[in-house]
């Protein structure tokens, strides 16, 4: 075989000589400072969470290693920033180097981690035995343990809000929650969670359950619990498409909710991918001549995929074609692969932190409901995923009127003119808040944008009673034409409020929901009778 021509090799990455000299000079100064401090016995462990234990400061050699590691990591970041490449390539370089930098931390290896060594001495070797046991158990499970999973059980201490499954088909179960107030608002709320995760992130424990909070505020709440397809399933679920999820999923759930509550129009909320599905389904309904939803809430949702943050490093034509060849005609994208991908978006917190604790020190992570949910992944039908990947992340087709068609019906997000509440999280690495804000330029009804502190999950799940974090809002609904074109301009005009954004959303939702009426204690109706108690069977199916 002939050697590839030189034109096929990537061009070397160039760095301006003056910038390179500056980086080298700074490295030399910092190296000299570290060495001098070490020679005079003045070097303590750096202020980094990985080196916070006393063992790092007590060992000069290990403290030196930690400083050199952080200095090297800083230089790598500076070189990536200085590289004369496109922004897209720079982002890929930054992501790739982050993986190596995080992996090379001396905290990750027993031979270079004095804390793990001291733990072994103090435990007379027991920590190493426990760590090996933890590793073998995780190998058998096929995933890393991030929390004490024995502390949780669905329906017992997570996903505990009272209710019943009143409808199910091959794609989802519909849960109706029991009222907690004597009177409820006339219009119900349908919640559409993402299908790439299980719904109970919105119904963890009573103290931090978004669902229970809404029910307690006097709303009739229905929720879609997506099915978790398995390799053993033989009913064709692995061939489900994006159109199936719109028609037999979201629109069917809206129809049942409307029928059971006897309301021609309902309120609807979509979270993350659930919001993308919901908005697409409503555009499809409008194309059919129907407008079944009178108000829309979108939580950390992408409708415009121009800027997708760190996930953009996975997006290119070659990846799309590979996935289409693998899964386009059927098959499942595994929960294990999805979970690994999302964990390595933040490897320091979601991977290497547990390597040190679980394996090097033999610890069992503390019980934490959000991490229990995070470990309970779902599989995705291949045709659904491949359509979604190409038409959103790769080609950004949904934002363009008519470019996406479902059964020859063109979708136009601009046809959605109902009042809309749009929420973004300021530190969200999955749905950057600037991209969540971009939905204000696609929808056409009166809207309110609210920005919460923290990230993709913690920003959303921020109960009022906790008094934690803050959010930004201007407190009024605006015509789409009055929303600032740039998100930073909106932020300059918004006011920061202490605590949770939930009360403002509930106040907004109450305005959209009509008068209060006597709550019906009977769940379902004559046609849609309770099948089983919430949280239902679909959510209890674990990916294998």
What residues does CATH 3.40.50.1820 cover in the chain? 163-302+315-334+379-540
Counting residues of the chain whose pLDDT is more than 90, the rounded percentage is 90
What is the mean pLDDT of the segment spanning 137-157? 92
Give pTM, 2 decimals. Answer: 0.93
With contact defined as beta carbons under 8 Å apart, do 174 and 167 qualify?
A: yes
Positions annotated as catalytic residues are 272
Q: Residue 469 — left, alpha, or beta (φ > 0 → left; ψ -120 to 50 → alpha)?
A: left
Distance CA 326, CA 140 (A): 26
Distance CA 532, CA 523 (A): 11
What is the mean pLDDT of the segment spanning 90-107? 94
Distance CA 385, CA 470 (A): 35
Provide the pLDDT for residue 12: 65
What is the mean pLDDT of the segment spanning 467-490? 93
Q: What is the CATH number of domain 163-302+315-334+379-540?
A: 3.40.50.1820
Distance CA 324, CA 317 (A): 10
Provide the pLDDT for residue 116: 97
Predicted confidence (pLDDT) at residue 4 exceeds the cutoff of 50 = no
Concatenating the DSSP letter of every residue in 106-132 gives GGGSGGG-HHHHHHHHHTTTHHHHHHH
Which of 188, 169, 97 is CA-nearest to residue 516?
188
Instruction: For 482-506, give one letter per residue: b (16+ CB within 10 A) or e.
Output: ebbeebeebbeebeeeebbbbebbb
Predicted confidence (pLDDT) at residue 304 exceeds the cutoff of 70 = yes
User: pLDDT band at 10, cuts 50/70/90?
Assistant: low
User: pLDDT band at 143, cuts 50/70/90?
Assistant: confident
Degrees to nearest 5, angle at CA 366 with 364 and 370 = 125
Provide the pLDDT for residue 11: 57
Q: Which residue has the tokens 């024995």?
A: 150
What is the DSSP pairing of strand 405-406 with strand 380-381? unpaired
């Amino acid at each position: 075989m002939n050697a590839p021509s030189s034109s096929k090799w990537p061009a070397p990455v160039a760095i301006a000589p003056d910038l390179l000299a500056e980086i080298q000079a700074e490295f030399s100064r910092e190296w000299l400072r570290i060495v001098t401090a070490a020679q005079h016995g003045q070097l303590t462990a750096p202020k980094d969470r990985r080196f916070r234990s006393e063992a790092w400061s007590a060992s000069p050699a290990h403290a030196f290693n930690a400083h050199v590691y952080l200095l090297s990591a800083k230089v790598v970041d500076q070189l990536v920033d200085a590289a004369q490449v496109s922004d897209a390539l720079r982002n890929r370089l930054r992501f790739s180097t982050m993986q190596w930098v995080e992996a090379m931390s001396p905290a990750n290896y027993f031979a270079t981690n004095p804390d793990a060594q001291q733990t072994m001495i103090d435990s007379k070797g027991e920590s190493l035995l426990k760590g090996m046991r933890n590793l073998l158990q995780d190998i058998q499970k096929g995933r890393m343990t991030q929390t004490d999973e024995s502390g949780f059980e669905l329906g017992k201490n997570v996903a505990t809000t009272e209710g019943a499954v009143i409808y199910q088909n091959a794609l989802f179960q519909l849960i109706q929650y029991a009222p907690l107030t004597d009177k409820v608002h006339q219009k119900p709320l349908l919640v559409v969670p993402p299908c790439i995760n299980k719904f109970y992130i919105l119904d963890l424990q009573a103290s931090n359950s978004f669902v229970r909070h809404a029910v307690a505020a006097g709303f009739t709440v229905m929720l879609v619990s997506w099915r978790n397809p398995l390799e053993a399933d033989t009913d064709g679920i692995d061939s489900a498409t994006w159109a199936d999820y719109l028609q037999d999923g979201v629109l069917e759930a809206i129809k049942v909710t409307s029928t059971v509550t006897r309301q021609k129009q309902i309120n609807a909320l979509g979270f993350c991918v659930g919001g993308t599905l919901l908005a697409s389904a409503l555009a499809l309904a409008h194309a059919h001549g129907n407008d079944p939803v009178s108000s829309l809430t979108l939580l950390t949702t992408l409708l415009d995929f121009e800027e997708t943050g760190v996930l953009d490093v996975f997006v290119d034509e070659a990846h799309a074609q590979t996935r289409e060849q693998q899964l386009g005609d059927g098959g499942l994208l595994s929960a294990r692969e999805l979970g690994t991908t999302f964990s390595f978006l933040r490897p320091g917190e979601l991977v290497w932190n547990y390597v040190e604790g679980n394996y090097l020190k033999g610890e069992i992570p503390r019980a934490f409901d959000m991490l229990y949910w995070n470990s309970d992944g779902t599989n995705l039908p291949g045709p659904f995923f491949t359509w979604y990947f190409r038409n959103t992340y790769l080609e950004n087709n949904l934002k363009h009127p008519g470019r996406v068609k479902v059964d020859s019906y063109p979708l136009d997000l601009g046809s959605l003119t109902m009042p809309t509440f749009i929420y973004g999280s300021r530190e969200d690495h999955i749905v950057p808040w600037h991209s969540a804000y971009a939905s204000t330029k696609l929808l056409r009804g009166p809207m309110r944008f609210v920005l919460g502190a923290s990230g993709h999950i913690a920003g959303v799940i921020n109960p009022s009673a906790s008094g934690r974090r803050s959010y930004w809002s201007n407190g009024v609904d605006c015509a789409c034409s009055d929303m600032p074109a740039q998100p930073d301009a909106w932020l300059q005009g918004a006011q920061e409020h202490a605590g949770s954004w939930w009360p403002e959303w509930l106040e907004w939702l109450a305005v959209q929901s009509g008068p209060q009426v006597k709550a019906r204690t009977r769940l379902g109706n004559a046609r849609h009778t309770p099948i089983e108690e919430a949280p239902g069977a679909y959510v209890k199916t674990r990916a294998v």
